[in-house]
Amino acid sequence: MRALDGSGAVHGILRYATSPGSSSFTEFLSAAAPDLMPSAPPAGTVVPHGTTIVAATFDGGVVMAGDRRATAGNLIAQRDIEKVFASDDYSLVGIAGTAGLAVEMVRLYQVELEHYEKIEGTQLTLDGKANRLATMIRGNLGAAMQGLAVVPLFAGFDIDAVDASRGGKIYSYDVTGGRYPEQYYHSVGSGSLFAKGALKKLWRAGMSRDEVVRVAVESLYDAADDDSATGGPDITRGIFPVVMLATASGTERVGDDELSTVVRAILAEREARPGA
């Protein structure tokens, strides 16, 4: 909307409505305030890195869990960093990679989804949300080439799914922004190989909510066992993995009390099995 006063200036708040038809907050932000876009520090800076994120489908939805450690070289930069977030009412995103950049990107992504919903009056489909995340990752490719990669894992409940018991969906990404639907479970991060090995043996189709929470926590435990950049559960301090669920009733974070019980059960079993 341009003023007709000859100056071509767009008035006040209306300069924020100058491109009707774009419901993308990221595009608007890069035009209105490009200095607020997530940006990478100069190459060579030592930044916190490394992680394990797991996601697995179950009967009625999908679970995503992430460890709590951020490392910078050999040092533990933070013991209780959160890496798994609800991106909106029905979807979850977990990020492996450069910590500061990852957190900024998640924040931007959350606003992106909410912004679209408020302007359009309706939510994006789950595939649409997965696509938007791919675009944001692609935009970060320049920084990724310098070693400051951000690799997300995206999961959600598809409210358009015909069969609600199979409504949980998982998508993985590579640094170029390629998007890959995953069928049963997936893991990303420095500990992902170990976590996937555990999931291969622990996961079954059609598990209940409680069973899949246990499987997710146990696979993270195995990843922490073999990867120094992944933190195991810290009972002394009460720091447990962030475990979140996405189902038809929305997203939910599993409470520390429940996780404490699950972790103690895992530890008891392992103690009874030498070599575990």
Partner 1 sequence: MSMPFYASAEQIMRDRSEYARKGIARGRSVVVSTYADGVLFVAENASSALHKVSEIYDRIGFAAVGKYNEYENLRVAGIRLADLRGYSYDRRDVTARALANAYAQTLGTIFTEQQKPYEVEICVAEVGHDAEGDQLYRLSYDGTIVDEPQFLAMGGGQADAITEEMRRTYTAGQPLQAAVQTAVAALGSAGGTDGARRSLPAEQLEVAVLDRTRGKRKFRRIGGSALTALLPAGHGEPAGEPAPADTPPHDRDESGGSDH
Min dist. Cβ of residue 36 to partner 1 (A): 6
- Closer to partner 1 by Cβ: residue 7 or 236: 7
- Closer to partner 1 by Cβ: residue 32 or 145: 32
Catalytic residue among 51, 71, 230, 251: 51
Cβ burial 146-156 (10 Å sphere, 16+ → b, else e) = eebbbbbbbbb
- Closer to partner 1 by Cβ: residue 59 or 117: 117
- Closer to partner 1 by Cβ: residue 29 or 217: 29
Q: Are strands 250-253 and 70-72 parallel, antiparallel or unpaired?
A: unpaired
**Which spans of this chain sit near partner 1 (rule: CB under 8 A)?**
1, 3-5, 11-17, 20, 25, 28-29, 32-33, 36, 107-108, 111, 114-115, 118-119, 121
Residue 59: Cβ-neighbour burial (10 angstroms; 0-12, 13-18, 19+): middle
Min dist. Cβ of residue 190 to partner 1 (A): 30
Min dist. Cβ of residue 107 to partner 1 (A): 7
The whole-angstrom separation of Cα 51 and Cα 64 is: 14
Min dist. Cβ of residue 85 to partner 1 (A): 13
Task: Judge whether 141 and 177 are in contact, CB under 8 Å.
Answer: yes
Min dist. Cβ of residue 105 to partner 1 (A): 12
- Closer to partner 1 by Cβ: residue 28 or 173: 28
The whole-angstrom separation of Cα 104 and Cα 88 is: 16
Backbone angles phi, psi at 117, to 5 degrees: -60, -40
Q: How far apart are the first and last CA of the chain?
A: 67
Rounded CA Rg of the chain = 20
- Closer to partner 1 by Cβ: residue 22 or 228: 22
Give the start-end residues of each E strand in the chain: 52-58, 61-66, 70-72, 75-78, 84-88, 91-97, 150-157, 168-173, 179-182, 185-189, 242-247, 250-253
CB-CB neighbours of 137 under 10 Å: 24
Min dist. Cβ of residue 67 to partner 1 (A): 26
Confirm whether 230 is a catalytic residue: no
Active site residues: 51
